[in-house]
Amino acid sequence: MSTKSSNKLALFVPALRGGGAQRVMLILAARFVELNLQVDLVLSNATGPYLDEVPSGVRVINLESSRVLTSMPRLMSYLKNEKPFALLSTMGHANLAAIWARKVSGVQTRLFVRVENTVSVDLNESGFFRSFLYKYIIRLSYLCADGIIAPSQGVADDLIRNIGLPDELIHVIYNPVIRKEILDKAKQEIDHPWLAQDKQLPLILGVGRLTKQKDFATLIQAFALVHKHKAARLLILGEGEDRLILENLVNEIGLEKYVDLHGFVDNPYAYMARASVFVLSSKWEGLPNTLIEAMATGVPVVSTNCESGPYEILDGGKYGELVSKGDVDGMAKAILNIIETGHIPDNMSQWLKKFSKDECIDRYLDVLHVRQNKDII
C-alpha cells in the first residue's frame, strides 16, 4: 500500500463487468483525478471488460476475493492502512461489505453508499422470508452510513417507504450520463452488416445485461408482433446468464434471421445513433443510464414504466413512449408508432442537461464534503 494521504478518495465496486453502476464509478473516478484527488478504485476482484477503461491516474486495488462479502477482511486492512477521507461504494453486497468493514475497522473514513436499483422490487423477487430478512439487514446497515445516494427520486422514495430509512440520510443525485464522450463515440464507424446503408431495415435496439431484470423476453415477443406488420430487425447488445433462454425463445418464434443477440460491445453509442428505436424493457431499475444515453444520441425511445427512473427521465411520457411492464402488445404498438412517425420531441437537449456530467458530479462533490474541506482541493 502507498503513503497515506488526506486527499485520498476510495471507490468500492465488486468488479468491472459491463453495467451502469460500474460506468458511473469510472466517470466519477476520472473527474476526481482531474481535481487532483488521489483515487483508489477498490475491487473485490479485478475482472470485467471495463478494466481497460480505468482512467489514467486511478490506482486499482485488487482484493482478490471470489465473493464480495469475503473481501471484507482485506477491505478492513485497506481502510486501516490507507485511511481515505471518504469511501463511496455501489451495489448491494458491496454496500453491506463497506459498511461493516468501516464499522469493525474503527477508522474515521466517511462512508457513502450508492443504491443503484429500487431495492424493494429487487428483494421481493427473493420470496417473503428472505425479503423480510434482507430489508431488516439493509435498514440496520444503511443507518450506519454517513449518507445514501439514490440515482432517482423513485429509488429514494422506495428506501424511505419500504426500507424505513430517514429522508435526511438520502441524497438524490442523477447519474452523470451525458458527456462529450458519448457524442464522439456515436459518430464512430461500426462493423455490422445490418447497419450498412444499402441493407438497412428499421432497427430496434436494446442494450443491457441478459438478465431477468432487463426482461428482453418481452422485447423479443413484442418484436415478433412488430415484424408481422413491418419488416424490421432487433439487435440486443449485452451478455448475461439468460442468453440461452433468450436464444431458445428467438428460435421458437422463428426469427433467427431478424434477431441478433450480439453480446457486449465497447461502444453501444454508435449503434444507438443508427437505430430507428431504442427500447428499455426492464422490470425494475434505479436510473437506467442506457435510456438517457440513447436519448442523447438522438434516437426515439420506448420504455417500460418500471420502478424507477423511466418516468422521471421521460417526464411522464413527454420525451418518449411509456408502456406497462411486461405489456407485449403495448410495447409493439409503441415501437410501430415510432417507426412510422420517427418523432423526436422538441427541447430534448435542454431537458437532458440535468443528467450532464458536470451538474451531477458537482452534487457528488458537495455530498462527499470535498468542497467543504480546503485540505482536499
pLDDT digits (tens, 9 = 90+) for 268-292: 999 999 999 999 999 999 899 999 9
Residue 127 confidence (pLDDT) above 50? yes
Which among 303, 291, 319, 317 is positioned nearest to 222, based on CA atoms?
303
Do 122 and 186 lie in one domain? The reply is no
CATH code, domain carrying 29: 3.40.50.2000
Residue 77 or residue 286, greater confidence? 77
Distance CA 237, CA 252 (A): 20
Which among 241, 238, 288 is positioned nearest to 268, based on CA atoms?
238
Residue 151, domain member (yes or no)? yes
Joined grid coordinates for residue 56: 489514467
Which among 72, 138, 127 is positioned nearest to 105, based on CA atoms?
72
Helix, strand and coil percent figures for the chain, each rounded to 5: 45, 20, 35
Which residue has cell 486495488?
A: 61
Cβ contact 65:13 at 8 Å:
no
Do 350 and 334 lie in one domain? The reply is yes
Residue 231, domain member (yes or no)? yes
Residue 130 or residue 237, greater confidence? 237
Do 138 and 252 lie in one domain? The reply is no
Give CB contacts under 8 A, 24+ apart, made by 152-155. 152/286, 152/287, 152/308, 152/309, 152/312, 153/308, 153/312, 154/118, 154/286, 154/307, 154/308, 154/309, 154/311, 154/312, 155/115, 155/117, 155/118, 155/119, 155/286, 155/287, 155/308, 155/309
pTM of the predicted model over 0.75: yes
Do 248 and 334 lie in one domain? The reply is yes
- pLDDT score recorded for residue 371: 64
Do 228 and 242 lie in one domain? The reply is yes
Residue 2, domain member (yes or no)? no
> Which of 37-51, 151-165, 196-210 shows the lowest mean pLDDT across its residues?
196-210
Q: Considering only CA atoms, give the Rg of the chain.
A: 21
Which among 314, 285, 310 is positioned nearest to 209, based on CA atoms?
285
> Which of 73-87, 164-178, 199-213, 340-354 shows the lowest mean pLDDT across its residues?
340-354
Do 360 and 350 lie in one domain? The reply is no
Q: What percent of the chain has pLDDT over 90?
A: 80
> Which of 46-55, 125-134, 218-227, 238-247 shows the lowest mean pLDDT across its residues?
125-134
Do 154 and 234 lie in one domain? The reply is no
- pLDDT score recorded for residue 325: 96
Cβ contact 91:21 at 8 Å:
yes
Residue 57, domain member (yes or no)? yes
Do 184 and 265 lie in one domain? The reply is yes
pLDDT, tens digit, 9 for 90 and up, residues 9-24: 999 999 998 788 999 9
Distance CA 39, CA 59 (A): 6
Residue 197 confidence (pLDDT) above 70? no
- pLDDT score recorded for residue 132: 84
Residue 304 confidence (pLDDT) above 80? yes
308 Cβ neighbours under 8 A, 6+ residues apart: 118, 152, 153, 154, 155, 157, 158, 284, 285, 286, 287
Residue 199 confidence (pLDDT) above 90? no
Residue 261, domain member (yes or no)? yes
Residue 376 confidence (pLDDT) above 60? no
- pLDDT score recorded for residue 198: 52
Do 224 and 279 lie in one domain? The reply is yes
Residue 377, domain member (yes or no)? no
Split into its structural domains, the chain has a count of: 2
Average pLDDT of 80-109?
95
Residue 59, domain member (yes or no)? yes
Q: Which residues pair with 276 in a beta bridge?
A: none
Domain around 34: 8-176+356-367
Mean of pLDDT over the chain: 92
Average pLDDT of 86-101?
96
Cβ contact 335:227 at 8 Å:
no
The angle that helices 20-34 and 357-367 make with each other, rounded to 10 degrees, is 80
| pLDDT confidence band for 1 (50 / 70 / 90) | very low
27 Cβ neighbours under 8 A, 6+ residues apart: 176, 179, 357, 361
Do 207 and 76 lie in one domain? The reply is no
Residue 4 confidence (pLDDT) above 50? no
Q: What percent of the chain has pLDDT over 70?
A: 95
Residue 203 confidence (pLDDT) above 70? yes
Do 211 and 135 lie in one domain? The reply is no
Residue 342 confidence (pLDDT) above 50? yes
Do 203 and 300 lie in one domain? The reply is yes
Distance CA 12, CA 80 (A): 15
What phi and psi values does residue 123 have, to the nearest 5 degrees?
A: -70, -35
- pLDDT score recorded for residue 3: 43
Cβ contact 213:287 at 8 Å:
no
pLDDT, tens digit, 9 for 90 and up, residues 99-121: 999 999 999 999 999 999 888 87
| pLDDT confidence band for 372 (50 / 70 / 90) | low
